[in-house]
Structure 1
């Protein structure tokens, strides 16, 4: 069996409030942003602060909070789409910076909003198979650096941040059976088109999509309506599979911590899936959508607030860029 032993997270020092953001977009109102996406402020990585830097800070907080000796870690995995370099893997650099033994394995994996659950699933398989005993799973993203200055929608939603958890042979929460899925036919709906091998040079191209949003080749593009429709198709089916795979009924679940995409999407999911409001976590007010880190941030906040306590069964899910999704049950 594999367990989460501890969770910590890091948020950059720079905070931008709705009031500051809307100075650039006077046609919007503070109330409109707060009501639609549920975000009042978000953290931005400094110009010289990378995903690797943030992941290191989250890991060091984890070590301090849970008295973890980095020399006991035998695998490191980092989920990021904002890697420090094309190569080498940022996880390899973190192995050295964090004082983790050279006998440890390390790699990055390129996933977004489903990445936390994918990491839990991989770490669980490593522990269950005996490949590793203490797996450090890191998530870190600097999406704000991918956004065009005029992209008011995504600039209001996304925030930068990082999270860290140790998955081990014992701990505070057993990881149940995981459900993972992928639909690459929707890859174009959330993408940065240029900069990598397929299209290395910036094009400067911009077109207007069906929702009236500008699509820049050289910056992050999200087709909001397509992602929304995908989520409403994928999440209810995934929930059913998670329950079946873990031999549970919906009433057996004590709490739900889903990827914090935006307030409107989460409330719609809750209503479509007929989930009790008091069992369903929604909190993007001070962080925004931190991509792969939202689930771990949510778990940590609920643990610290005493809303998740020993004996509870918590469903966690992630869904988004890829398109990809994943979920599991955590038994505290």
Structure 2
């Protein structure tokens, strides 16, 4: 039997800059109550000028390597593959995975980026599963990292209130299909016919990764996120619920056996609606979006790291991961939570 990917390390990183709902209310027509009741978000983190998704990804990777092997140096000697999921890269040519691997000191790894928007971490984990099963890779570092504040239009209340910056990382190692931490079968989908409901708008240049929300810009000459929130909600809820059920069915689990749903942290209403559609207690759907907003590809590994740190995830718990994003993309998988050591707070 081919090996499968086993979760063996976690890490996270967020910028220091906190942007509250009141901060946004000072520059656009909104208020704290309106944002909280519609999204569940109280605040989000935004990068400082010059801080990129590679910077955040490197920091999250260092924590994951320390969690995995006891130190960064011990970890990098074992990593042979690096995957970075992002739609906010600092370079359109050099991959973030290559940049991060170089900064970490990982010598000549197999390193590449993928773009599946908010589903990026689930897609990246599926790729790690395939590479390990095929014997192409042994120890895979998967990073989800975004600086979405560089892609928000200053006049768009529908996106500025939602998105935040951050990174999360996971390390997968070869193991047996029935051991704790082993990823289950994946349910993955894409529908390009509805790509226009969550995409870029602009005129004469691609996203400018050097732009920041508090700068004065000519919005007619930049590319920014545009989103039809109603259509995203209508598609995300059934897609995530159906995909989660498919992943459970492939694993042979009933919904009553599921202890935790770790969904893409897009919106509190979406997460609760997915749980309700699955007939799952909404309390089992972990959320940390209240502090970070929607961090796209970073949201699931960031949530996994925090749920582990907080003791929400305990060894032996059954866990489902599910995401939905632009593309449209969505997907899910499952695992039994492994007996991991405490995640080190190496940046305190």
Of the three residues 9, 16, 21, the one matched with 2:19 is: 16
> 1:194 and 1:153 mapped to 2: Cα distance?
16
1:168 aligns with 2:173: yes
Q: Deviations over 1:24-60 (max 9, x none)?
A: 13x4321221121111111001110111111111111
Partner of 2:225 in structure 1? 220
Q: Deviations over 1:48-97 (max 9, x none)?
A: 01111111111112223332521211001100111121102121122211
Correspondence 1:154-303 to 2 at 5 A:
154-170=159-175, 173-194=181-202, 200=205, 218-303=223-308
SS in 1 for 2:291: coil
> 1:124 and 1:174 mapped to 2: Cα distance?
9
The CA RMSD measured in Å over matched residues stands at 2.0
> 2:47 and 2:324 mapped to 1: Cα distance?
23
Which 5+ residue runs of structure 1 have no aligned equivalent?
Answer: 203-213
1:65 aligns with 2:67: yes
> 2:223 and 2:60 mapped to 1: Cα distance?
29
SS in 2 for 1:24: coil
TM-score by length of 1: 0.90
Which 5+ residue runs of structure 2 have no aligned equivalent?
Answer: 208-218, 338-348
> 1:147 and 1:201 mapped to 2: Cα distance?
13
> 2:297 and 2:318 mapped to 1: Cα distance?
21
SS in 2 for 1:157: coil
> Does the 8 A contact of 1:5 with 1:172 survive in 2?
no
> 1:249 and 1:216 mapped to 2: Cα distance?
51
CA distance 1:303–1:215, shift in 2 (3 Å):
farther
Q: Deviations over 1:267-290 (max 9, x none)?
A: 222222221122121221111111
> How many residue pairs are counted as aligned between the two chains?
316
SS in 2 for 1:60: helix
SS in 2 for 1:174: coil
Partner of 1:53 in structure 2? 55
Alpha-carbon distance, 1:243 to partner? 1.7
> 2:41 and 2:312 mapped to 1: Cα distance?
21
Correspondence 1:65-104 to 2 at 5 A:
65-66=67-68, 67=70, 68-102=74-108, 104=109
> Does the 8 A contact of 1:73 with 1:136 survive in 2?
yes
> 2:255 and 2:273 mapped to 1: Cα distance?
18
SS in 1 for 2:26: coil
